[in-house]
Amino acid sequence: MTKDRFIHTPNFADFTYSWTRLATYKASLCCIMESSISPQLTQADMIVLRNLFQDINGDETKPNASGFDDQTSIDLLACLSDETSDKFQPTIFTGWDEKDLLGIPDAFHKNLLQPYVKWAQHVVRRPTDVVFLTHTLLYLSTSVPSAIYLYYRFTWAHGICHWLMQAWYAGAFTLMLHNHIHNNGVLSKDYAWFDRCFPYVLEPLMGHTWDSYYYHHVKHHHTESNGPDDLSSTIRYQRDELKDLLQYIGRFLILVWIDLPLYFLRKGKRALAFKSFVSELSSYAFIYIAATHNFRASLFVLMLPLLQMRIAMMVGNWGQHAFVDDIEPTSDLRSSITLIDVPVSHSPPSPPHMSNI
């Protein structure tokens, strides 16, 4: 048997068949156009999808075909995040946009939501970031009292529910914290003290140790950018091997308290080595003291969230950097896992605001 037997030579019949299928597919796509856009999507997603559907329809060259030609779509997207535009919409919740809130009672909208948004826009650093305050208030009013009550009167049911709630919160909190550590806060100057303090209360509840995300992520990971000196780089591992993934996670879990200070020492950054060592060990000491006081409450409030956050962050990092290139590991383009439409997967030390991505 020769290799040639496997080479399929296209003929005219095949071509016609494929073309017919493509045309049928395209026609059916056009039919499902509007109905296939989920109303749950963000307004920005809807604009992009409508623009793409207009492309499929071939309406791009017809003026005002459906109002979503490229330029109109780009302008609309810019207006949504332009604080001076009348179409500007602040992000208030992660799950609902302004359009999703139209169904709520007028009284609630007028007496509660609107005054809150107006006030919150002065509290946050940028008017679009109301969601940061919403989530900070949500965590302070649910996670904190729930954790305190667990130490006061522990029940297994409450412990498990608290842990599940924290697992639900952890992703959004970490996104906010990512913004916080890159921009040295998320709130306006008038609230600087609160901005500086609230992470110290919330970080341990969400599975972070004090300040270590800042030292590890901003001062080390972004500086090394997945290169050979990056402790989180995946280039030393076989990235489709479970054994390697477990080694990668295990090393971080067990040795990060010493690996990170030693990295800073190797780079001649003694102050950072000291600060990162102290912040990590003081967090461990805090958990240890809390556990000696009430082990069961500490298990659900501090220990399980820490374990799950560290595993999740390393799994996330492994996935995001699965294609880090051996030859040019610091190249964002060669290492990108992103296929379409958005910038390459990794951000520079001072990333653009999320509304501009």
Which part of the chain contacts Zn ion (CB under 5 A), choosing from 123-131, 168-176, 271-279, 346-354? Answer: 346-354
Q: Which is nearer to Zn ion, 36 or 184 (CB)?
A: 184
Instruction: Give the shortest CB-312-to-Zn ion separation in angstroms.
Output: 16
Report d(CA 103, CA 195) in Å as an integer: 33
The sign of the torsion formed by the CA atoms of 179, 276, 302, 315 equals positive
Instruction: Output DSSP code: residue 217.
Output: I
Reading the block at residue 263, the tokens are 């990295």
Neighbours of 272 (CB within 10 A): 18
Would you give the binding string for Zn ion spanning residues 295-334, x where CB under 5 A is met? ----------------------------------------
Report d(CA 180, CA 306) in Å as an integer: 19
What are the residues whose beta carbons fall under 8 Å from the beta carbon of 231, sequence distance 6 or more? 216, 220, 221, 224, 252, 256, 259, 260, 263
Reading the block at residue 174, the tokens are 């970490």
Instruction: Count each helix (H run) and each strand (E run) in the chain, helices first.
Output: 15, 0
Report d(CA 248, CA 232) in Å as an integer: 8
Which residue type is seen at 43? Q
Instruction: Give the shortest CB-229-to-Zn ion separation in angstroms.
Output: 17
Site for Zn ion in 138-177 (CB under 5 A): none
Q: Which is nearer to Zn ion, 178 or 310 (CB)?
A: 178
Neighbours of 3 (CB within 10 A): 6
Q: Which is nearer to Zn ion, 331 or 347 (CB)?
A: 347
Residue with the shortest CB distance to Zn ion: 347
Instruction: Output DSSP code: residue 124.
Output: B
Q: Which is nearer to Zn ion, 68 or 252 (CB)?
A: 252
Report d(CA 96, CA 86) in Å as an integer: 20
Reading the block at residue 61, the tokens are 């060259």
Which part of the chain contacts Zn ion (CB under 5 A), choosing from 86-94, 297-305, 332-340, 344-352? Answer: 344-352
Size of the site for Zn ion (CB under 5 A): 1
Instruction: Give the shortest CB-181-to-Zn ion separation in angstroms.
Output: 8
Which part of the chain contacts Zn ion (CB under 5 A), choosing from 27-35, 158-166, 184-192, 340-348? Answer: 340-348
Instruction: Give the shortest CB-220-to-Zn ion separation in angstroms.
Output: 11
Reading the block at residue 138, the tokens are 């949500």
Which part of the chain contacts Zn ion (CB under 5 A), choosing from 12-20, 95-103, 255-263, 343-351? Answer: 343-351
Q: Are 309 and 174 in contact (CB under 8 A)?
A: yes
Residue with tokens 């000291």: 274
Report d(CA 162, CA 56) in Å as an integer: 47
Instruction: Give the shortest CB-343-to-Zn ion separation in angstroms.
Output: 13
Report d(CA 152, CA 114) in Å as an integer: 37
Q: Which is nearer to Zn ion, 125 or 182 (CB)?
A: 182
Which part of the chain contacts Zn ion (CB under 5 A), choosing from 43-51, 60-68, 271-279, 347-355? Answer: 347-355
Which part of the chain contacts Zn ion (CB under 5 A), choosing from 52-60, 65-73, 253-261, 341-349? Answer: 341-349
Q: Which is nearer to Zn ion, 260 or 290 (CB)?
A: 260
Q: Which is nearer to Zn ion, 223 or 347 (CB)?
A: 347
Instruction: Give the shortest CB-221-to-Zn ion separation in angstroms.
Output: 7
Instruction: Give the shortest CB-161-to-Zn ion separation in angstroms.
Output: 32
Residue 277 phi, psi (nearest 5)? -65, -45
Instruction: Give the shortest CB-184-to-Zn ion separation in angstroms.
Output: 13
Q: Which is nearer to Zn ion, 279 or 320 (CB)?
A: 320
Instruction: Give the shortest CB-207-to-Zn ion separation in angstroms.
Output: 18
Which residue type is seen at 23? A
Q: Which is nearer to Zn ion, 181 or 187 (CB)?
A: 181
Binding stretches for Zn ion (CB under 5 A): 347
